[in-house]
Structure 1
Amino acid sequence: MASISSAGIGSGLDVSSIVSQLMTVEKAPLQQMQTAATKIQNQLSAYGKIQSFVSTLRDAAAKLGNPTTWNSTAATSADSSVFTASTDGTAQAGNYALSVQQLATAQTVASPASAFPVGAGVLRIQDGAGGLAVDVSISAGDTPAQVRDKINAAKAGVVASVVTDASGSRLLLRSAETGADHAFTVKEVVPDGLGGETTSTTGDLAKLTYDPALPAAAGVNMALTQAAGNAKATVNGLAVESATNLLSGVVEGVTIKLAKVSASPVELGVSNDTESIKTAVQAFADAYNQLNKYLSEQTAYDPTTKRAGTLQGDSGTNSLRYAMRGIVGGTGTMSGSYQRLAQIGLDVKKDGSMAVDATKLGNALGGKLADVQALFATKDAAVPANNGFAVQLQKWGDDLLKFDGALTSRSDSLQSRVSDNTKKQDAFNDRMTQVEARLKAQYSALDTQMSRLNSLSSYVNQQVTTWNNSSE
């Protein structure tokens, strides 16, 4: 009989190896559970991606089902160097003649080049729009840059800067906002001789003061280089005025940004923004194709590699794919010239993908915008079958994604299976720990018993040899 020759504890039995081999057999079911867990996790991950793709498609459909998308307009300028324009959801299509007579300007004053060095004092800056006057303390010997920084830090409604040329450095003050109301004055605060104070343009800081209401000699005060003024324009012959170069509300829903004076009227056109609608339709098609492609990949079977997609044979996924294809490939009962998406250039192919014919879509939007809107956005609470395709797909997505929807329920079910599998593996591992301990105890006892038998055999053999030797 062959014997186990591995080193044992006195018996020759390799207890560790024997127990390890037996445990490999005992643990075979664990591998099956781990394989099952991996499969479930892959399915759970796949359903997570499906939920994301469905959410994207639902949101794209919701945009096409929103009247705001279809009511959007765009404004164009026949000469963008004169003005540009943008619209909001309230603008109505139409054409307007706009001419610009004057741009809004900010008041600017400049000190004489001989203004520095300066003495000590307080400058009081008053914005003509009625804000509180702001006082700025000036120290003797302050440089133009130091005066500039003090004025800017005071936030008095003016912006100070320094211009330096061959004649020296001059301080420039510009109103922070355009418009006639933002004309400002700069005066020096001086004692009034009665224990109080007054303002002056003839004190130590006279060359940094400006007041158009008082006479001033050249080089004594700051000089006006640009007066504060409002923008002036005419829209279809109607004179309009604005403190800024933005005209808001002159044409309802349109904001016009003036850029320069025009010698003659420039056309402002407001029309339906079909480009933004095309973008929304393309986003809808892209979201649909993304979901369709993923579902096809996950349910496919490759006979060459004999590999199946993660969700191959999954009835829920197949139902999902058939439902979405059924919606976009169906015929609607909404009013208007169109009842099928293919009629406006959205063709559903054999593989379920959607191709967008840009020319066909553009023609439909340009010629029958209201009918295209009806195809997507019709809402009929009494007869849901009359709903537009975007409305149908939005509801389909909402139903799938709600807390008790098919996708949510399926994901919850898979997550529950993952948890159950984990519990089973934990229980199995606990049981295997007990089995391994029992096997080690049994084979250790066998090892001890065989060690004793080996010792007894050696003793008997020794006694027989001794007896034989004494008999000779």
Structure 2
Amino acid sequence: MATSSISGVASGLDTAGIINQLMALEAVPQAKLKSRVTSEQSVITTLQGLNTKLAQLTSRAEELTKPDGWRAYAATSSSAAVTVSTGTGVAPAGFALTVEDVARTHQLGFATAAALGDVVTGSGTTVLLDRLDGTGPVAIDAGDGTLSSLVAAINDPANETGLRATAVRVGEGSYRLLVESATTGAAQDFTLTAGDGSTLLGGATVRAGTDARIDLGTGITVTSASNTFADLAPGVSVTLGADAVAGTTATVDVRVDSSGLAGRVQSFVAQLNGVLADIDAATGSGTRAGALSGDSLVRGIRQNLLDTVFPADGTSMADLGVQTDRTGRLVFDADAFATAYAEDPAAVTEAFTAPTTGFLARVEGVARSASDRHDGTVTQAINGRNQTITRMQDSIEKWDLRLEMRRTTLTRQFTALETALSQMNSQSNWLAGQISSLTNQRS
């Protein structure tokens, strides 16, 4: 219950100020708790940022450990008209090819020209589409049967014709109908006739759809309905470009690219050094203190990450291009890596990617043990500090109630003091008046 007071009316004292000063002293323990909460929240924010970086390092190490993540391939073609790309499961490959044909759409160019508003569907308003695959003709409703309506009906996705139609302007107000399959390949052939079976627009000149075909020069001919030969070799796809024509030749080469592989390792080492730099900033360097200054857990993680360059057999990764420097970071020597890889690719691959014992697996183990979302050491530290903050916030709330009660008590005490002094002042004034009256009577 709130208690009011009249500050210093009787005593002349600033009782409100005195109460505020006393309350400031009473609130010192609560202020310390609030300061600790702020400090703990700063530590948690730093730990969360570090935990995220460690989790990302875990994922990157795991990705590179996989065969497709570790290997890097350079795919080249001797012809700009033939491109080559690699995907999963790629293996070294090399072959020469000659283009015998490229993939084309099936086209019909109709002979009779008409205006867009002319009826062109014969006696009815439908046309028959026969895909020549044995399924029989399909009737397409051409609306009012005009050329523009027929083009719209063929192109309407709802009709699922698999065709593209265009009214090609050949003169003033005069158009000829061009229809082609939406995709390439010899199996895309079709015919279009009027609904009554009669010839549509004077009949059509046909450009038959074709499959792409390449000859590998050893009696092996490969065909594709499109101009891309997917997985022509394991993980290797070849695409014929717009400039490819019959007779185009190309030599395709797919080989392990040690420079590309070195780039991946260098990128990984840079990511690991980023984590080490974050730890240094958090734990303090030189005279600058960080949010995690003196935190043995984080310092231990840093040391464990550096120790990953030393395999259990007592050797090091220096001959393979990875070592530590005087600043406590990792450095990568691309030339040393390339030399080692050229001499023994299998041994280098094993040193980096072997389960449990490989460099990448060792880094992953350290990072995962720290950042695992269930039992990682950094994760547990974050959870523990969050619980501590919760307890301190509960204490702060209890202090709010305690301080409110204390202020009420002090206010009542000083109000009682003012009241007592006011009464004493009244009595003193009355006595003074009585004494003065007696003195005047004697005179």
- Contact in 2 for aligned 1:123/1:136 (Cα 8 Å): yes
1:135 aligns with 2:139: yes
Write the distance in 2 (CA, Å) between the matches of 1:176 and 1:112.
Answer: 21
Write the distance in 2 (CA, Å) between the matches of 1:70 and 1:325.
Answer: 21
Within 5 A, what are the aligned runs for 1:250-261?
250-259=232-241, 260-261=244-245
Question: Which of 419, 428, 431 is the matching residue for 1:460?
Answer: 431
Query: What's the counterpart of residue 424 of structure 1?
Result: 395
CA offset digits 1:413-442 (Å, max 9, x no partner): 111111121112112221111111111111
Deviation at 1:270, TM superposition (A): 1.6
CA offset digits 1:313-346 (Å, max 9, x no partner): 1111111111111223x24539xxxx53322333
Question: Which of 330, 339, 345 is the matching residue for 2:321?
Answer: 345
Give 5+ residue unaligned stretches, structure 1: 1-5, 191-198, 208-219
Query: What's the counterpart of residue 284 of structure 2?
Result: 300
SS, match of residue 250 in structure 1: strand
SS, match of residue 160 in structure 1: strand
Deviation at 1:389, TM superposition (A): 1.0
Amino acid at match of 1:252: P
Deviation at 1:27, TM superposition (A): 0.8
Query: What's the counterpart of residue 149 of structure 2?
Result: 146
Q: Quick one: structure 1 residues 146 and 358, their matched pair in 2 at CA, closer, same or farther if it must change by over 3 Å?
A: farther
Give 5+ residue unaligned stretches, structure 2: 1-5
CA offset digits 1:123-160 (Å, max 9, x no partner): 01122345564322234562x43321111112212111
Query: What's the counterpart of residue 84 of structure 1?
Result: 83
Deviation at 1:301, TM superposition (A): 4.8
- Comparing 364-373 with 34-43, greater Cα deviation is found at 364-373
- Contact in 2 for aligned 1:73/1:89 (Cα 8 Å): no
CA offset digits 1:227-247 (Å, max 9, x no partner): 211112112331222221111
Amino acid at match of 2:107: T
Query: What's the counterpart of residue 102 of structure 1?
Result: 101
SS, match of residue 200 in structure 1: coil
Query: What's the counterpart of residue 215 of structure 1?
Result: none
- Contact in 2 for aligned 1:102/1:232 (Cα 8 Å): yes
Write the distance in 2 (CA, Å) between the matches of 1:49 and 1:131.
Answer: 62
Query: What's the counterpart of residue 194 of structure 1?
Result: none
Deviation at 1:14, TM superposition (A): 3.3
- Contact in 1 for aligned 2:37/2:389 (Cα 8 Å): yes
Question: Which of 409, 412, 415 is the matching residue for 2:386?
Answer: 415
Q: Quick one: structure 1 residues 251 and 320, their matched pair in 2 at CA, closer, same or farther if it must change by over 3 Å?
A: closer
Q: Quick one: structure 1 residues 287 and 130, their matched pair in 2 at CA, closer, same or farther if it must change by over 3 Å?
A: farther
Deviation at 1:269, TM superposition (A): 0.8
Question: Which of 284, 303, 310 is the matching residue for 2:291?
Answer: 310
Deviation at 1:91, TM superposition (A): 3.1
Write the distance in 2 (CA, Å) between the matches of 1:33 and 1:316.
Answer: 24
- Contact in 1 for aligned 2:97/2:214 (Cα 8 Å): yes
Write the distance in 2 (CA, Å) between the matches of 1:133 and 1:281.
Answer: 59
Query: What's the counterpart of residue 224 of structure 2?
Result: 242
Q: TM-score, normalised by structure 2?
A: 0.89
Q: Quick one: structure 1 residues 35 and 427, their matched pair in 2 at CA, closer, same or farther if it must change by over 3 Å?
A: same
- Comparing 366-375 with 281-290, greater Cα deviation is found at 366-375
Count residues with an aligned counterpart: 426
1:115 aligns with 2:95: no
Write the distance in 1 (CA, Å) between the matches of 2:97 and 2:208.
Answer: 24
Deviation at 1:471, TM superposition (A): 2.7
Question: Which of 351, 354, 365 is the matching residue for 1:395?
Answer: 365
Write the distance in 1 (CA, Å) between the matches of 2:423 and 2:101.
Answer: 118
CA RMSD, aligned part only? 2.3
1:155 aligns with 2:160: yes
Query: What's the counterpart of residue 200 of structure 1?
Result: 198
Write the distance in 2 (CA, Å) between the matches of 1:408 and 1:145.
Answer: 67
- Contact in 1 for aligned 2:129/2:192 (Cα 8 Å): yes
SS, match of residue 195 in structure 2: strand
Write the distance in 2 (CA, Å) between the matches of 1:188 and 1:89.
Answer: 49
- Contact in 2 for aligned 1:60/1:280 (Cα 8 Å): no
- Contact in 1 for aligned 2:79/2:249 (Cα 8 Å): no
Query: What's the counterpart of residue 56 of structure 1?
Result: 56
1:370 aligns with 2:370: no
Deviation at 1:37, TM superposition (A): 1.4
- Contact in 1 for aligned 2:102/2:246 (Cα 8 Å): no
Write the distance in 1 (CA, Å) between the matches of 2:266 and 2:375.
Answer: 30
Q: Quick one: structure 1 residues 291 and 123, their matched pair in 2 at CA, closer, same or farther if it must change by over 3 Å?
A: same
SS, match of residue 39 in structure 1: helix
- Contact in 2 for aligned 1:60/1:283 (Cα 8 Å): no
SS, match of residue 434 in structure 2: helix
Query: What's the counterpart of residue 93 of structure 1?
Result: 92
Write the distance in 1 (CA, Å) between the matches of 2:181 and 2:406.
Answer: 89
- Contact in 1 for aligned 2:68/2:89 (Cα 8 Å): no
Write the distance in 1 (CA, Å) between the matches of 2:135 and 2:336.
Answer: 59
Deviation at 1:57, TM superposition (A): 1.4
Identity of aligned residues (%): 24
Write the distance in 1 (CA, Å) between the matches of 2:235 and 2:110.
Answer: 43
Write the distance in 2 (CA, Å) between the matches of 1:39 and 1:340.
Answer: 40
Q: Quick one: structure 1 residues 140 and 43, their matched pair in 2 at CA, closer, same or farther if it must change by over 3 Å?
A: closer
Question: Which of 335, 354, 364 is the matching residue for 1:359?
Answer: 335
SS, match of residue 223 in structure 1: strand
Deviation at 1:393, TM superposition (A): 1.3
Write the distance in 2 (CA, Å) between the matches of 1:131 and 1:392.
Answer: 61
- Contact in 2 for aligned 1:19/1:436 (Cα 8 Å): yes
Question: Which of 260, 266, 285 is the matching residue for 1:282?
Answer: 266
Query: What's the counterpart of residue 3 of structure 1?
Result: none
SS, match of residue 366 in structure 2: helix
- Comparing 460-469 with 124-133, greater Cα deviation is found at 124-133
Q: TM-score, normalised by structure 1?
A: 0.84
SS, match of residue 458 in structure 1: helix
